[in-house]
Amino acid sequence: MCDVKDVREIYDSRVLRALEEDPEVDALLKGANDLTMGRLMFNDHGKTHARIVAYFAVRAYEILRKRGIRANLEFEDGATEEEVKDTLVAAAYLHDIGNAVNRRDHELLSLILAAPILDKVFSGSRLAVKQKAVAMEAILCHMGRYPATSLEAQIVALSDGLDMERGRARIPYRMGAKSIHTYSALSISRVELQEGRERPLLVLVHMENPSGIFQIEEVLGPKIENTRLSEMLRIKAKIGEEEVVIH
């Protein structure tokens, strides 16, 4: 079993605690899993997934910031590091709650459900209004079907795709079915997000066989295509001792 990543291991804030303790958020994340896992027999889209996406989003932003790259909220609105992280965390926790209603167009459904929750965690200033707007863009764009213009939204989309260890891959597949989706998802054993050399972000995907490359190409490709983040990212597949550059 892999160690499941959890944003609470690396970050703490009022916004994160509010999202963790909000019964509405909890109920919607449970509802998302009831529909995706219970009714459709797909993979996890609930609270564990939200915590993993938030973890990767915070780590990616920390690495980029260390390399001198600023998020849109920073250079457009003077936001602090914590305010950017809070925005990333909020989007990560709420991006999939629309699945509680329906899988189809769940990004749009997530926006509707997330709006009043975001009003609770971001309020009282012009910056808070902008944080809500950026979080909503990240929610809307996480599947790669809408163009993500902010670095924050691009980070959340990438982070969503990185939750692919041991069958947690973001291509929904029917559990128990035999298909390329299933085999490729189960072949991935570990995902590492590190500071890179020639590019700031390095994603290293450990897999047992090359079928896992399908997940990388099908999941991460559409999410980062034609984005600013794409130029800052290197993706490698590690199969045994061999490393293959995917992006």
For the domain made up of 7-245, the CATH class stated in words is: mainly alpha
Question: Over 80: is that where the pLDDT of 122 sits?
Answer: yes
Query: pLDDT above 70 covers what percent of the chain?
Result: 92
pTM of the model: 0.94
Predicted confidence (pLDDT) per residue in 165-217, tens digit = 876 755 555 555 566 667 777 889 999 999 999 999 999 999 999 988 988 88
Identify the pLDDT of residue 184.
78
Identify the pLDDT of residue 181.
67
Identify the pLDDT of residue 170.
52
Q: How far apart are alpha carbons 94 and 75 in whole angstroms?
A: 25
Query: pLDDT above 90 covers what percent of the chain?
Result: 77
Question: Over 80: is that where the pLDDT of 241 sits?
Answer: yes
Can you give the three-state secondary structure of 70-130, one letter per residue?
A: CCHHHHHHCCCHHHHHHHHHHHHHHCCHHHHCCCCCHHHHHHHHHHHHHHHHCCCCHHHHH
Identify the pLDDT of residue 37.
85
Alpha-carbon distances, residue 161 vs 45, 123, 190 (angstroms) = 12, 30, 13
Predicted confidence (pLDDT) per residue in 31-81, tens digit = 999 998 889 878 788 999 999 999 999 999 999 999 999 999 999 999 999
Closest by CA position to 207, among listed 223, 226, 185: 185
Identify the pLDDT of residue 172.
55
Predicted confidence (pLDDT) per residue in 1-41, tens digit = 446 799 999 999 999 999 999 999 999 999 999 998 889 87
Identify the pLDDT of residue 1.
41
Question: Over 80: is that where the pLDDT of 147 sits?
Answer: yes
- Look over the chain and give the mean of its residue pLDDT values, rounded to a whole number: 92
Identify the pLDDT of residue 43.
78
Q: How far apart are alpha carbons 106 and 112 in whole angstroms?
A: 10
- Structural domain boundaries of the chain? 7-245
Structure tokens at 167: 């069958």
